[in-house]
Amino acid sequence: MPPKHTSPPPSLHTFSSSLLPSTTLSHPPSHPTSAPLTPLISALLLHPTLEAALHILNADLPSAHFLLRHMQAPPAVEGMLLHAILHRVEGDFGNARAWAGDVRDACEGFVPKRRERGERLGMEVGRGCRGGDGVGGTLVEFVYGSVDAGGDVNGETEQDEGMALISDVEVFRGKKKLDQGVDEERQLEGRARRELERVMEWCVAKFGDGRWEDARSAWVRGGEEVRRIGEGMVSGGKGWREF
């Protein structure tokens, strides 16, 4: 009798390795790529940032949004960056830029939207924005590249690098379908996949890829303004984990 070939058990690796090569993030999805995957992803009980990233890869934006509304302020810079990515995928480019700007502020030690006032994060919150063991630099540098002596990242200033993908996707979607080049779309898809891959690498290094039975320690709420905006944007009900 020939040996039975069994599928590997569900894990972060199995889901990410199957979803990353095929996910399409340059167009707003109308439904999840695979609805049956949603409960399987949730059942892994990963750190909420990793679960949200998998939901985005599966084009299940409501499930990702439910998780990310709990991570709207420093030190949860990973959730904030995923929030920017999610809004870009949705086509809400204004909010995508706002969240990306907040992440940059926090990574550079400032209270989001209060950089010009010189208002800095507290020491404990600032430490919480750092990466895991052996990971140097900020989340923005890790995902998009570090600035060299000349202030460039792959030919662009780091200040522009995080926003460039938002702008490029916005321009691409604004074109008529006949004018949307295949090569341009392929390039955008590759950049978006690499971005999410790097976010997930950072999160694994910082939070691990094991189970988080109690996710409450991951939650951070912003001020009243952020809370009001978030409640207006988010859909979804209660989860079954401890939130």
Residue 5 has pLDDT above 70, yes or no: no
Backbone φ and ψ for 173, nearest 5 degrees, come out as -70, -25
Contacts of residues 162-170 at CB distance under 8 Å and 24 or more positions apart, as own/partner, are 162/100, 162/103, 162/104, 163/97, 163/100, 165/88, 165/191, 165/192, 165/195, 166/84, 166/88, 166/93, 166/96, 166/97, 166/100, 167/93, 169/26, 169/88, 169/93, 170/93
- Please state the pTM of the whole predicted model: 0.84
**Cα distance between the two ends of the chain:** 49
In this structure, are residues 50 and 203 in contact, taking their beta carbons and an 8 Å threshold? yes
- Span of 36-40, 77-81, 162-166 with lowest mean pLDDT: 162-166
pLDDT, residue 160, reads: 66
Please state, in angstroms and rounded to a whole number, the distance separating the CA atoms of residues 23 and 29.
10
Grade residue 75 by pLDDT with cuts at 50, 70 and 90.
Answer: very high
Instruction: Please name the residue ranges forming H helices in 25-138.
Output: 37-43, 48-57, 61-68, 77-90, 93-107, 123-128
Please determine, for residue 111, whether its predicted confidence score (pLDDT) is greater than 90.
Answer: yes
Poorest-confidence range of 33-42, 115-124, 233-242?
233-242
Give the distance from CA 117 to its chain's centroid: 27
pLDDT tens for residues 199-216?
Answer: 999 999 999 999 998 888
For residue 70, the model assigns a pLDDT of 92
198, two tokens: 């790097």
Q: Are 69 and 227 in contact (CB under 8 A)?
A: no
- The total of other beta-carbon atoms located within 10 Å of residue 180's CB is 15
Check: CB of residue 90 under 8 Å from CB of residue 234.
no
Q: What is the pLDDT of residue 101?
A: 95
Angle at 159 between CA 97 and CA 126, to 5 degrees: 80
What the block records as the tokens of 80 is 């904030």
Residue 214: name the closest of 235, 177, 242, 182 by CA. 242
Q: How far is CA 167 from CA 38, 82, 134, 170, 174, in A?
A: 29, 17, 32, 5, 11
Is residue 110 helix, strand or coil?
Answer: strand
Domain ranges of the chain: 75-209
Output the average pLDDT for the chain.
Answer: 85
